[in-house]
Amino acid sequence: MKTAHADTFARDRLPPRGQWPEFGFELPELRYPERMNCAAVLLDERVRAGDGERIALRAPDGECSYAQLQAQANRLANLLVREMGLEPGNRVLLRGPNNPMMAAAWLAVFKAGGICVGTMPLLRAKELAEIVNKAQITHALCDRRLDAELELARPACPTLKQLRYWYDDETDALVARQSPAFATLDTAAEDVALIAFTSGTTGKPKGTVHFHRDVVAMCDCFPRSCLKPGPEDIFIGSPPLAFTFGLGGLLCFPLRFGASTALVERFTPETMLEAIQRFRATILFSAPTMYRALAGLWKNYDLSSLRKCVSAGEALPDATRQLFREASGIEIIDGIGATEMIHIFISHTPETVRRGATGRALPGYRATVLDEHGKPCAPGVVGRLAVKGPTGCRYLADERQRDYVRNGWNLTGDAYLMDEEGYFFYQARTDDMIISAGYNIAGPEVEGALLAHPAVAECGVVGVPDEERGMVVKAFVVLKSGQAPGEAMARALQEHVKQAIAPYKYPRQIAFVAALPRTETGKLQRFKLRNEGTKAP
């Protein structure tokens, strides 16, 4: 398959083929031609099909049709190629909040044959420099309001030669002068489209490489089988477009199905509900912590338009699922995905939900649970989650490829058990299992028990060293407003956990904190809790 990339940096730094996972394309909708550009599939073909006047993007300051989005993406593609000298295969850093310009920039880079490298808005100069240098980024498009950290990073980024800021008078005028027509590059389906850096729950981000085919495949798996969206749907959500969960749910999925998306730059629980009400959104993407907060405010808004809610990014506690359903009447669609897999690969429909389960492998994917020898576990036995499908892990020049892919399986780092009907039940991250006095204790199970207590707003559970037991369970707890921390509350929470789950799993140490460390995508950073947990309780 002949590449369209003149710059083969990313291709040259893929792991050897023998270290790739096995890929499966059995379903008819996953059999793609050898030549494809994901922007052509998601946008150009939609306009050619007669949907140019349909609304594609909605934002607080107005709407944008498919034809208008195509024209703006084309202007930005012309800017990249004609004014900034982009060659196919060059890496382009994208930095901005969720807004129409950020959406157009993603599509523009795809169209021009560049490789998108999205970055979270809150990243600091040191983190940006690490990404730029690892991916040898040559170009950047950035929201002017986020220029400070990128400018601080530039002296340490020798490959970054071309940088333009949108919402900058000079650049905006230059973009406006570009032609609204652009011939989308004829890329190979296996040309690199994006490098997604992990969101850093371990503190050691990795670059994961995805092809144009992968971007389309993620649209033809989870949303097709679980969401079943239509052209009248309006997507909305909190994950940044720089996170593949957000890129899929808030840009690629709606475009693939001729729907629209409401892009809002910053969310609190209150502004999220206001936006759902204002845009009459029908499908919501967010993280478990947000759903827990939304439940308490639900009754104050008209949210009758909303019909489906998707949770991913970290495990959905059953207590949160029940709380949200009681408040909204909506059964959350839980899912597990990974940056390495680009999006969700195990989930369910609202009709097939099973209490405590993430779901079953999506059509197009296979999943199993393996023991320490790489053999399938019996039903009900905890082991390592392993997945194969149309997408999979290819790290950019990273020895950790050997850890993630073994014998063709993607090993996600999650401990699961599978029942006889193929439902998968999350236990913990494999490095978050707590072994105390010979017992295996899953931190998320303890968290779920704590979250069921009426005084608890949020919590995080980790194992900390203990001379007698090897490790003990330590809980970091954020109390609801009006609740008093102290020994009496700690004892009450411990007794509550003992009554809810096996008594040996109760947290022997409890620390009351004002907030938990989380990534921009809402994932709990347990490695920070473990570091904190070594201090005296």
Q: What is the CA radius of gyration of the chain?
A: 23
Are 138 and 160 in contact by the 8 Å Cβ rule? The answer is: yes
Q: Mean pLDDT of all residues in the chain?
A: 93
Residue 437 clears pLDDT 90, i.e. is over it: no
Rounded distance between C-alpha atoms, residue 124 and residue 153, angstroms:
8
User: Cβ–Cβ contacts within 10 Å for residue 514, how many?
Assistant: 6
Per-residue model confidence (pLDDT) at position 470: 78
- For 51-183, which CATH class? alpha beta
Rounded distance between C-alpha atoms, residue 473 and residue 101, angstroms:
46
Per-residue model confidence (pLDDT) at position 251: 98
**263-390+399-436: CATH topology:** Rossmann fold (3.40.50)
Per-residue model confidence (pLDDT) at position 442: 81
Q: Which residues contact 433 (CB under 8 A, 6 or more apart)?
A: 415, 427, 440, 441, 442, 443
Architecture of the domain spanning 439-533: 2-Layer Sandwich (3.30)
Q: Is 75 left (phi over 0), alpha (psi -120 to 50) or beta?
A: alpha
> Could you tell me how far CA 171 lies from the centroid of its own chain?
30
Q: Which residues pair with 471 in a beta bridge?
A: 465
Q: Collapsing DSSP states into helix, strand and coil, what is residue 43?
A: helix
Per-residue model confidence (pLDDT) at position 441: 84
Q: Give ∠ CA 465-467-473 in degrees, rounded to 5.
A: 40
Per-residue model confidence (pLDDT) at position 533: 60
Q: Collapsing DSSP states into helix, strand and coil, what is residue 64?
A: strand
**Residue ranges of the domains in the chain?**
51-183, 263-390+399-436, 439-533
Rounded distance between C-alpha atoms, residue 73 and residue 42, angstroms:
12
Model confidence at 524, pLDDT cuts 50, 70, 90, reads confident
- E strand or H helix at 432, and its extent? none
Residue 536 clears pLDDT 70, i.e. is over it: no
Per-residue model confidence (pLDDT) at position 321: 94
Find the mean pLDDT for residues 517-533.
82
- Return the structure tokens found at 147: 């220029």
Rounded distance between C-alpha atoms, residue 434 and residue 118, angstroms:
34
Residue with tokens 């890129």: 247
Rounded distance between C-alpha atoms, residue 74 and residue 136, angstroms:
25
pTM reported for the whole predicted model: 0.86
Q: Which residues pair with 428 in a beta bridge?
A: 415
Model confidence at 199, pLDDT cuts 50, 70, 90, reads low
pLDDT tens digits, residue range 132-191?
Answer: 999 999 999 999 999 999 999 999 999 999 999 999 999 999 999 999 999 999 999 999
Residue 479 clears pLDDT 90, i.e. is over it: yes
Residue by residue, DSSP assigns 184-215 as ----BTTSEEEEEEP--SSS---EEEEEHHHH
The candidate with the shortest Cα–Cα distance to 189, out of 32, 415, 19, 357, is 32
The candidate with the shortest Cα–Cα distance to 255, out of 115, 120, 520, 64, is 64
Q: Looking only at Cα atoms, what is the longest distance across the chain?
A: 71
Are domains 51-183 and 263-390+399-436 of this chain identical in fold?
Answer: yes
Find the mean pLDDT for residues 48-66.
97
Model confidence at 25, pLDDT cuts 50, 70, 90, reads confident
